Amino acid sequence: MKSLLAFIKKETMEQLRSGRLIILGILFILLGIMNPAVAKLTPWLLEVLADSLAESGMIVTSVTVTAMDSWMQFFKNIPMGLIAFILLQSSIFTKEYQSGTLVLALTKGIQRYKVVISKTVVLAVLWTFGYWVCFGITYGYNAYFWDNSVVQNLLFSVVCWWLFGVWVIALLILFSTIAKSNTDVLVGTGSVVLVSYLLGLLPKLREYLPTLLTDGNFLIYGVEEAAIYVVSLIIALATSLICFVMSIPIFNKKQL
Amino acid sequence: MDMLYITGLHKRFGDKEVLNGLNLTVPEHSIFGFIGKNGAGKTTTMKAVLGLLKTDAGEIVVNGEKVVYGQTSTNRYIGYLPDVPEFYSFMTAPEYLRFCGEVTGMKKSENENRCRELLELVGLGDETHRIKGFSRGMKQRLGIAQALLNHPKLLILDEPTSALDPVGRKEILDILMAVREQTTVLFSTHILSDIERICTDVAFLNNGVVGVQGKLSEIKTKYRSKEYLVETEREADLLILQKTFPNMQQTGRNQLIFHESHYTIFDMLCFVTEKHISIVKIERTEPTLESLFMEVARK
Ligand SMILES: Nc1ncnc2c1ncn2[C@@H]1O[C@H](COP(=O)(O)OP(=O)(O)O)[C@@H](O)[C@H]1O
Ligand SMILES: [Mg+2]
């Protein structure tokens, strides 16, 4: 337990001193502010552009913005947060393989699975924290400017998206224990997400794939029932767990 | 008791047989020099001992416990310094040592004391910078400190002096001398003068097997040179000697060397007495590790 905590502490210190923590912190805060800001500025932007639009024959009627528009922005922008997160963390294992820093820690007697757990915990906490900070900021502004109660399935839809992030991180961990370089990690993780996305275009498969969880917009407008999402939610949860469990024996046998 | 015991170790990389049935025994409280050319397989052997490398055959026993690849339980007896030690460069030296102590599960107060003591021993007591800016020698010294952290029974160092200047080398060798009471030291090198300076035991690794191993003094006796050097006072006497002993070779001014396989020392001495040749000195030439190494390597 002590060695696990020591390793988690080391990971946290690394996130902090390498600047990754700060970059991600700023990014998620900015994203959180951007969602309501863009929604708020849309009518004003249209007004500014009204004259030129009128010249080209378009009539701009006054638009009313609601919290809905801000939440739409949320689901449009949060992928940027996840992509930045994955890019920044893709070398969390491979950097240690390449520099050889794990060798000493392992010869000090820390069990290999604790290395996997530490890194997973730090990534999961970081993602969770960043994601909910972003959500919290958007929620706060929305409540201040408009009214969040017009939104349907709000909590469920954002939990779905959060879990999608967890699923991608689980893939990142798995590929990190298999691959040697962070390019391979990114290619592996990206491919699985892409395949899930492409298969999701087939109506028959859509409901069974984790990428469905990113379609939060259908939920908040009430276009789709929350119940449709439950299957892919369970599948994402299960595959995340499988990825994590598989990564331990793979890492145990890895030549360092 | 033997601290480390290796029998029949085999390891191949692709079709390259690096270790070919290596046997090695490291007695307790020795300073054991593991000698071999570059690429002989020293690092490979050490990694196998630490369970970091999968071997093809053979058995490794550390302090009576068998080493299993991928498992780290025997590593609790071992302190290890790899050939190129890599630390978390975002930490300072004390932070790194403390981290190592926590990883091994040391008590907090004990950890603090041990870290301070070791940093003092390796001369990094006042160092407050991050490891990122450390020189090769500083890293090597920090490496020894982390290896010694949990009072290992066996200290394994992979070429600890190879990349250092003479001052840095001396510092490392002095540290090793200082810890020999507490532990058994196994270190690899291709620098023979380091071995002569501190080792009690040596093993020569060549072609994937240990050619010769044992106490340094015994090996030196066993391989004691059978060559003699004679120096005469007058130059003319050289010719007289060479006429009777044609296989003597001149090596310097008034100096001849000869090998025991050609003439015995007693014949030579009789002759010298008979002819009243004035001698400046007669000596049996000391075997250097160099010549020993060459001899082992030739086999
Ligand atoms: N991971 C590896 N893959 C292929 N060959 C290797 C690997 N590691 C070492 N070797 C080869 O094994 C031989 C022994 O290497 P090593 O044990 O590092 O030698 P030493 O430490 O004595 O200089 C070398 O010829 C090296 O090229
Ligand atoms: Mg080596």
**SS3 letters across B158-190:** ECCCCCCCHHHHHHHHHHHHHHCCCCEEEEEEC
From CA B291, how far away is CA B289, in angstroms rounded? Answer: 5
Q: What is the pTM of this model?
A: 0.82
Residue A100 to residue B86, Cβ atoms within 8 A? yes
Residue of B nearest to A251 (CA): B70
Give B-chain residues touching A177 at CB under 8 angstroms: none
- Out of A20-24, B261-265, B271-275, the most confident range is A20-24
Query: Are residues B90 and A18, on separate chains, in Cβ contact within 8 Å?
Result: yes
Q: How confident is the model at residue B68 (pLDDT cuts 50, 70, 90)?
A: confident
Q: Domain spans of chain B? A: 2-215, 227-298
Q: Per-residue pLDDT tens for A150-193?
A: 888 889 999 999 999 999 999 999 999 999 999 999 999 999 99
- pLDDT band (50, 70, 90) for residue B70: confident
The larger pLDDT score, comparing residue B263 to residue B88, is at B88
Is residue A5 pLDDT above 90, yes or no? yes
Of all residues in chain B, the percent with pLDDT exceeding 70 is 98
**Residue B48: pLDDT band by 50, 70, 90 thresholds?**
very high
pLDDT in tens, B96-147: 999 999 988 889 999 999 999 999 988 898 888 999 999 888 999 999 999 9
Range B197-215 average pLDDT = 90
Interchain CB distance below 8 Å, B86 and A99 = yes
Span B158-189, pLDDT tens digits? 999 888 888 888 988 998 988 888 899 999 99
Other Cβ atoms within 10 Å of B162 Cβ, number: 16
pLDDT, chain A, mean: 92
Per residue, the 3-state secondary structure of A222-252, as one string, reads CCCCCHHHHHHHHHHHHHHHHHHHHHHHHHH
pLDDT band at A60 (very low <50, low <70, confident <90, very high): low
Confidence tier at A44 by pLDDT (50, 70, 90) = confident
**What homologous superfamily is domain B2-215 in, according to CATH?**
P-loop containing nucleotide triphosphate hydrolases (3.40.50.300)
- Which residue in A155, A178, A159, A168 sits closest to A246, CA to CA? A178
Residue B264 confidence (pLDDT) above 90: no
Dist. CA A252–CA B7, nearest whole Å: 25
| Amino acid letter for position A256 | L
Q: Which two tokens stand for residue B193?
A: 């003068």
Sequence ranges of the domains in chain A: 2-252
Q: Report which bound ligand comes closest to the CA of B160.
A: 2
Whether residues B103 and A108 touch (CB distance < 8 A) is answered with yes
pLDDT higher than threshold 70 for residue B299: no
Q: B152 C-alpha to center of ligand 2: Å? A: 22
AA letter at A215: D
Ligand 2 centroid to Cα of residue B97, in Å, is 24
Instruction: Return the pLDDT at B258.
Output: 87
pLDDT at B195 over 70: yes
Q: What is the pLDDT of residues B230-245, one digit of tens each?
A: 899 888 888 888 888 8
Q: Give the position of tokens 């050619």.
A: B211
Q: Is the pLDDT of residue A130 over 80?
A: yes
* Residue of B34, B43, B49 to test ligand 1 pocket, by largest number of atoms within 8 Å of CB: B43
Residue B91: band (very low, low, confident or very high) from pLDDT cuts 50, 70, 90: very high
The b/e string for A118-156 (b: 16+ C-beta within 10 A; e otherwise) is bbbebbbebbeebbebbbebbbebbeeebebeebebbee
Cβ contact B109:B136 at 8 Å: no
Strand partners of residue B186:
B32, B156
Q: Determine the residue of B11, B12, B15, B18 to mutate for testing ligand 1's pocket, defined as the one with the most ligand atoms within 8 A of the Cβ atom.
A: B18
B102 contacts A6? CB cut-off 8 A: yes
- The dihedral through the CA atoms of A171, A172, A173, A176 has a sign that is positive
Mean pLDDT, rounded, for A210-214: 92
Confidence of residue B57 (pLDDT cuts 50, 70, 90): very high
The pLDDT, as a whole number, for residue B294 is: 74
**Mean predicted confidence (pLDDT) in A23-47:** 91
ipTM for this prediction = 0.87
Percent of chain A with pLDDT over 70: 98
Cα(A203)–Cα(A199) distance, integer angstroms = 9
* pLDDT value, residue B193: 84
Q: Smallest CA–CA separation between B93 and chain A, in Å?
A: 14
CA distance A68 to A76: 12
Instruction: Name residues contacting ligand 1 (CB within 6 A).
Output: B 13, 18, 36, 38-44
Average pLDDT over residues A46-74: 80
Q: With a cut of 90, say whether residue B287 has pLDDT above it.
A: no
pLDDT in tens, B73-85: 788 889 999 988 9
- Answer yes or no: is pLDDT of B223 > 80: no
Cβ-based interface (< 8 Å): residues of A facing B: 2-3, 5-7, 9-10, 13-14, 17-18, 99-101, 103-112, 252-253, 255-256
- Is the pLDDT score of B295 beyond 80? no
Q: Do B91 and A253 touch (CB under 8 A)?
A: no
Give chain A positions within 8 Å (CB) of B76. 109
Statement: residue A146 has pLDDT above 80: yes
**Pairing relation of β-strands B78-81 and B154-158?**
parallel
- Pocket mutation for ligand 1, best pick of B22, B44, B158 (most atoms within 8 Å of C-beta): B44
Q: Identify which ligand lies nearest to the alpha carbon of B205.
A: 1
Average pLDDT taken over every residue of chain B: 88
